[in-house]
A and B are shown apart, each in its own frame.
Chain A
Amino acid sequence: MKISVQTSDFDVSNELAIMRSSNPAIGAVVNFVGLVRDRNDGQTVSAMELEHYPGMTEKSLQAIAEQAQQRWNLLDVLIIHRVGVLQPKDQIVMVAAASAHRGEAFAACEFMMDYLKTEAPFWKKETTPEGERWVDARESDSVAKHKWNASSSELQK
């Protein structure tokens, strides 16, 4: 398992190569990369600053990765999240899950992103032509996270 909160960029192929080489039982790796967009809510975005809660952030990402491992049969997981000032097109976050077959890796990757969006203490501030503004939390992210609770209670029925 790799959890990292860092200012520096990351190399997706390098991270996946390390993951692949760690265990020959891995048959599937699903990877998500989130990027800074140049537009949000109708405004041009020239820069984005990510603030976080040092200490809690790492614990929170670790807990999310562990929950995914408890829920699915995973052979490895990775979460890298950048902080500091980023520009449009920059990579913000990488989440990857490895398993023997694709189904578990697909589900775990989406689960970790949905939880990260609503649980991990990061905050985005955008620079627009009208000045700086804090990004508001989206209701759709909360809905995306809750669907995992709904599907687990359906499984229990």
Chain B
Amino acid sequence: MKIQLKFFASVREKLGCGSEVLELDVNSVSAHQVRDLLISRGGVWAEVLAPNKALRMACNQQMLNGDVTLQDGAELAFFPPVTGG
């Protein structure tokens, strides 16, 4: 399955990456499992996505509260708390 990853603001800058298509050899994965997978890359990934970071996630452009199972082709975004207005 494929997951479209998106990164914004300070998260995007620190990772040096705005988007990525993640291909996985599984039929089902949750948003937090994807986060853990990215953390396991180590380095800046582990630092920026660490569980203690004030990080927000959105699945298919909906703010995520808790976890969710991702469908093939889902869009998963990572970003800091928002500061508009």
Contact = CB atoms under 8 A, between A and B. Distances in A.
Contacts of A51: 8-9
B84 A52 contact: yes
Contacts of A81: 84-85
Given A56-B62, A121-B79, A134-B80, 12 more contacts: A53-B6, A56-B58, A93-B85, A117-B84, A122-B83, A122-B85, A125-B9, A134-B83, A135-B83, A137-B80, A137-B81, A141-B85
A53 B58 contact: yes
Main secondary structure on chain A at its contact with chain B? mixed
A44 interface: no
A132 to B, nearest CB: 10
A38 interface: no
Contacts of B61: 53, 55-56, 59-60
Contacts of A137: 54, 80-83
Interface of B: 6, 8-10, 54, 58, 61-63, 77, 79-85
Interface string A24-63: 0000000000100000000000000011110110011000
Contacts of A116: 84-85
Most buried by A among B10, B81, B83: B83
Contacts of B9: 51, 123, 125, 134
B8 A118 contact: no
Contacts of A123: 8-10, 79-80, 82-84
Given A59-B61, A121-B58, A137-B54, A53 B84 contact: no
A92 interface: yes
